Amino acid sequence: MKESVQVLFSEEEVAARIAELGKQISEEYAGRQVHMICILKGSVFFQCELAKRITVPVTMDFMSLSSYGSGTVSSGRVKIIKDLDDSIEGKDVLIIEDIIDTGHTLSHLLKTLAHRNPASIRLCTLLDKPDRRVVDDVQVDYVGFVVPDVFVVGYGLDYDQKYRNLPYVGELSFSG
Protein backbone atom coordinates (compact mmCIF):
# COMPACT_ATOMS: atom_id res chain seq x y z
CA MET A 1 0.00 0.00 0.00
CA LYS A 2 1.35 3.43 -0.99
CA GLU A 3 1.27 6.35 1.44
CA SER A 4 0.97 10.00 0.47
CA VAL A 5 0.74 13.23 2.45
CA GLN A 6 -1.24 16.29 1.41
CA VAL A 7 -0.48 19.58 3.21
CA LEU A 8 -3.30 20.79 5.48
CA PHE A 9 -1.37 23.57 7.25
CA SER A 10 1.89 24.83 5.78
CA GLU A 11 5.05 25.43 7.77
CA GLU A 12 4.35 29.17 7.56
CA GLU A 13 0.75 28.78 8.75
CA VAL A 14 1.84 26.64 11.69
CA ALA A 15 4.56 29.12 12.68
CA ALA A 16 2.16 32.07 12.48
CA ARG A 17 -0.49 30.31 14.58
CA ILE A 18 2.06 29.29 17.22
CA ALA A 19 3.21 32.92 17.44
CA GLU A 20 -0.41 33.98 18.01
CA LEU A 21 -0.86 31.35 20.73
CA GLY A 22 2.38 32.45 22.40
CA LYS A 23 1.18 36.04 22.49
CA GLN A 24 -2.22 35.05 23.89
CA ILE A 25 -0.70 32.82 26.58
CA SER A 26 1.83 35.52 27.51
CA GLU A 27 -0.95 38.07 27.95
CA GLU A 28 -3.15 35.74 29.99
CA TYR A 29 -0.30 34.63 32.26
CA ALA A 30 1.17 38.12 32.72
CA GLY A 31 2.95 38.39 36.07
CA ARG A 32 3.01 34.62 36.56
CA GLN A 33 5.20 31.70 35.56
CA VAL A 34 3.90 28.98 33.22
CA HIS A 35 4.77 25.35 33.97
CA MET A 36 4.45 23.55 30.62
CA ILE A 37 3.83 19.80 30.64
CA CYS A 38 4.63 18.22 27.29
CA ILE A 39 2.79 15.00 26.48
CA LEU A 40 5.35 12.83 24.71
CA LYS A 41 6.25 12.11 21.99
CA GLY A 42 4.27 14.10 19.48
CA SER A 43 4.02 17.36 21.40
CA VAL A 44 7.77 18.02 21.62
CA PHE A 45 7.95 20.01 18.37
CA PHE A 46 4.94 22.14 19.32
CA GLN A 47 6.07 22.75 22.89
CA CYS A 48 9.56 23.87 21.89
CA GLU A 49 8.30 26.35 19.32
CA LEU A 50 5.52 27.62 21.60
CA ALA A 51 7.86 28.10 24.56
CA LYS A 52 10.13 30.30 22.45
CA ARG A 53 7.18 32.62 21.82
CA ILE A 54 5.97 32.95 25.42
CA THR A 55 7.37 36.04 27.11
CA VAL A 56 6.57 35.17 30.76
CA PRO A 57 8.88 32.80 32.69
CA VAL A 58 8.49 29.15 31.61
CA THR A 59 9.45 25.87 33.24
CA MET A 60 8.95 22.47 31.59
CA ASP A 61 8.32 18.86 32.42
CA PHE A 62 7.32 15.82 30.39
CA MET A 63 4.84 12.95 30.64
CA SER A 64 4.21 9.91 28.50
CA LEU A 65 0.82 8.22 28.56
CA SER A 66 -0.65 5.15 26.93
CA SER A 67 -4.30 4.57 26.23
CA TYR A 68 -4.60 0.90 25.64
CA GLY A 69 -7.28 -1.37 24.26
CA SER A 70 -7.93 -3.40 21.16
CA GLY A 71 -7.06 -2.00 17.76
CA THR A 72 -7.24 1.73 17.30
CA VAL A 73 -10.10 2.30 19.73
CA SER A 74 -9.17 3.68 23.13
CA SER A 75 -10.52 1.68 26.04
CA GLY A 76 -10.55 4.81 28.17
CA ARG A 77 -7.96 3.25 30.50
CA VAL A 78 -4.78 5.26 30.71
CA LYS A 79 -1.36 4.15 31.88
CA ILE A 80 1.36 6.63 32.84
CA ILE A 81 4.56 5.49 31.12
CA LYS A 82 6.70 8.46 32.26
CA ASP A 83 5.52 10.63 35.14
CA LEU A 84 6.54 14.18 35.99
CA ASP A 85 9.96 14.78 37.50
CA ASP A 86 8.81 17.63 39.75
CA SER A 87 5.80 18.52 41.88
CA ILE A 88 3.17 20.77 40.31
CA GLU A 89 1.70 21.88 43.64
CA GLY A 90 0.91 25.59 43.51
CA LYS A 91 2.04 25.96 39.88
CA ASP A 92 0.13 27.34 36.90
CA VAL A 93 0.17 24.26 34.67
CA LEU A 94 -0.25 24.35 30.90
CA ILE A 95 -0.61 20.90 29.35
CA ILE A 96 0.74 20.77 25.80
CA GLU A 97 -0.75 18.23 23.38
CA ASP A 98 -0.19 17.63 19.69
CA ILE A 99 -3.77 16.51 18.97
CA ILE A 100 -6.97 15.93 20.91
CA ASP A 101 -9.62 13.64 19.52
CA THR A 102 -11.76 11.40 21.79
CA GLY A 103 -10.53 13.13 24.94
CA HIS A 104 -10.24 9.89 26.96
CA THR A 105 -6.54 10.27 27.73
CA LEU A 106 -6.76 13.94 28.63
CA SER A 107 -9.84 13.46 30.79
CA HIS A 108 -7.89 10.94 32.87
CA LEU A 109 -4.77 13.12 32.92
CA LEU A 110 -6.66 16.25 34.01
CA LYS A 111 -8.23 14.38 36.94
CA THR A 112 -4.86 12.87 37.91
CA LEU A 113 -3.06 16.21 37.85
CA ALA A 114 -5.86 18.05 39.68
CA HIS A 115 -5.19 15.79 42.70
CA ARG A 116 -1.62 17.13 42.77
CA ASN A 117 -2.89 20.61 43.78
CA PRO A 118 -1.67 22.94 41.02
CA ALA A 119 -2.75 26.59 41.21
CA SER A 120 -4.40 26.14 37.80
CA ILE A 121 -4.51 23.70 34.87
CA ARG A 122 -5.09 24.75 31.28
CA LEU A 123 -4.86 22.82 28.06
CA CYS A 124 -3.18 23.81 24.80
CA THR A 125 -3.23 21.70 21.65
CA LEU A 126 -1.85 22.20 18.19
CA LEU A 127 -4.73 20.27 16.61
CA ASP A 128 -8.27 19.64 17.82
CA LYS A 129 -10.73 17.12 16.38
CA PRO A 130 -13.93 18.07 18.22
CA ASP A 131 -16.05 15.82 15.98
CA ARG A 132 -14.33 12.80 17.55
CA ARG A 133 -14.81 13.90 21.18
CA VAL A 134 -16.61 11.29 23.28
CA VAL A 135 -16.00 12.80 26.71
CA ASP A 136 -17.45 16.14 27.71
CA ASP A 137 -15.13 17.08 30.58
CA VAL A 138 -12.14 18.15 28.46
CA GLN A 139 -12.06 21.92 28.02
CA VAL A 140 -9.42 23.03 25.52
CA ASP A 141 -8.21 26.53 26.38
CA TYR A 142 -5.85 27.14 23.45
CA VAL A 143 -6.28 25.56 20.01
CA GLY A 144 -3.91 25.90 17.09
CA PHE A 145 -6.16 24.47 14.39
CA VAL A 146 -9.43 22.55 14.25
CA VAL A 147 -9.07 19.58 11.91
CA PRO A 148 -11.60 17.28 10.26
CA ASP A 149 -11.69 13.58 11.06
CA VAL A 150 -8.73 12.61 8.88
CA PHE A 151 -5.40 10.98 9.74
CA VAL A 152 -2.86 13.76 10.25
CA VAL A 153 0.93 13.59 10.38
CA GLY A 154 3.82 16.01 10.60
CA TYR A 155 4.97 18.53 13.16
CA GLY A 156 5.39 15.75 15.73
CA LEU A 157 2.45 13.58 14.68
CA ASP A 158 3.37 10.20 13.29
CA TYR A 159 2.21 7.10 11.51
CA ASP A 160 4.21 4.08 12.66
CA GLN A 161 6.93 6.48 13.94
CA LYS A 162 7.26 8.10 10.48
CA TYR A 163 6.51 11.68 9.38
CA ARG A 164 7.08 13.36 12.79
CA ASN A 165 9.82 15.52 11.26
CA LEU A 166 7.68 17.11 8.55
CA PRO A 167 7.69 20.90 9.11
CA TYR A 168 3.96 21.11 8.27
CA VAL A 169 0.75 19.28 9.16
CA GLY A 170 -0.59 16.98 6.46
CA GLU A 171 -3.30 14.44 5.80
CA LEU A 172 -1.99 10.91 5.32
CA SER A 173 -3.78 8.76 2.78
CA PHE A 174 -3.24 5.30 1.38
CA SER A 175 -3.70 3.95 -2.15
CA GLY A 176 -3.19 0.80 -4.10
Give the burial class of 79: count Cβ atoms within 10 A of its Cβ; 0-12 exposed, 13-18 middle, 19 or more buried.
exposed
CA-closest candidate to residue 111, choices 103, 49, 144: 103
Active site residue 101: yes
Which listed residue (83, 101, 128, 149) is catalytic? 101
Q: What angle do CA 32, 35, 40 make, to 5 degrees?
A: 160
The torsion angles phi and psi of 16, rounded to 5 degrees, stand at -65, -40
Which sequence positions are flagged as catalytic?
101
